[in-house]
Amino acid sequence: MIITDTHTHLYSEAFDEDRSEMIKRALDNNVKRFFIPAIDSSYTDSMLQLEQHYPNHVFLMMGLHPTSVKENYKEELAHVEAMLAKRPFFAIGEIGIDLYWDTSTLEIQKKAFKHQIQLAKKYKLPIVIHCRDAFDEIFEVLKTEKSDDLFGIFHCFTGTKEQAKRAISFNMKLGIGGVVTFKNGKIDQFISEIDLKHIVLETDSPYLAPKPYRGKRNESSYIIKVLEKLSELYQLPQEKITEITTQNSKDVFNI
C-alpha cells in the first residue's frame, strides 16, 4: 500500500532539526511518494538537495507562489522558465492567487498565474493551484485558459460543494488534507458526494496538521489521519482510498 503525499514542503525550515527522522517516519508509514511544490528561487537549491538525497521518493515542481509575487516577480518568473528549460519537473506549482495576506498585488498575481498556466501548457505539465480568499479570481483566470491541456490539482481545497464541482470542471483534482478532520472545516459535510476519482491526498506540511495534531507542526506521516477520516466519510477501507488516490496522483503527474 503506497500512500502519496501530493503536497509537502519537506525543505521547510520547520524541519531543519529533524528532517531525515521526519521523512523516515513517513516512509515507515508507507508514505512513499512526496510531491514538492516550489515557492520562489530562494528554495530551489534546498529542493534539488532533497531530490538528490531521496531520488526514489521526492518529485519536484517548479513555480512562483502567489505570496512571493512582489515587485521582482518578472525576475522570479525568469528563474522558473530557466529551470524548466534546464531539467524536467512534474508540475508547475504552487501557483495561484492569495488575497489573505495582500490584496494590493492582485493584478500582478493574476499575471503571474496566467503566465505560469501557459508555461504548464508549453511543457505539457499539470498545475498545482494555491487559492486563499480568491476563488472568484482563480476561476476567472482559469476560465480564460480553459482547454483540454489545462489540468492539475486544486491544492488544499477548502471551498463549498459548488466550488468543488467548478474546480473539477476545469480538469482539477481536489487536494484533501488536514482540514477535512477539522470540526469547522466544512468540507467533511459534502466530500463523500464527490467521486473519489477527483481526490488526491496531501498534507501541506508543515502547515495545517490534522486532528489530533492541529495547531502543531504537520508532517507527511500525519497523512494517515486524513486517510482515516476519508475512509470514515466514504465508508470504504483505507486500502481502497489509498489505491484510488495514489492512482489519481499518477494520472495527474504522469508517473
- Split the chain (255 residues) into runs of 10 and give each run's mean pLDDT: 96 97 98 98 98 98 98 97 98 97 96 98 98 97 96 97 97 98 93 98 98 97 98 98 97 95
3-state secondary structure 136-174: HHHHHHHHHHCCCCCCEEECCCCCCHHHHHHHHHCCEEE
Structural domains of the chain, count: 1
Please give the residue range of the domain that contains residue 180: 3-253
Domain of residue 246, CATH code:
3.20.20.140
- Please tell me the pTM assigned to this model: 0.97
* Alpha carbons 155 and 96: distance in angstroms, whole number: 10
214 grid coordinates: 492541529
Residues 6+ apart with CB under 8 A from 237: 231
Determine how β-strand 172-176 pairs with β-strand 92-98: unpaired
* Alpha carbons 20 and 211: distance in angstroms, whole number: 23
